[in-house]
Amino acid sequence: MRSTATPAEAPWLGRFLRPRHAACECDIIQWKGSGEADTPAADAHCRLFVDAAEGVIASAAFAAFGPPVVIACADWVCEWLSGRTIDAARSLTVREFEQALVLAPHERYAGLLVLDALTGALRDV
Residues lying near another protein in the complex (CB under 8 A): 1-2, 7-8, 13, 16-17, 19, 22-25, 28, 36, 39-47, 49, 63-68, 71
Count of CB atoms situated within 10 Å of the CB of 79? 15
Asked if 45 and 38 touch (Cβ cutoff 8 Å), the reply is yes
**Rounded (10°) CA dihedral 43, 49, 81, 38:** 20
For another protein, give the closer residue by CB, 65 or 91: 65
Residue 87: beta bridge partners?
none
Write down the least CB distance from residue 53 to another protein, Å: 22
For another protein, give the closer residue by CB, 64 or 125: 64
For another protein, give the closer residue by CB, 22 or 112: 22
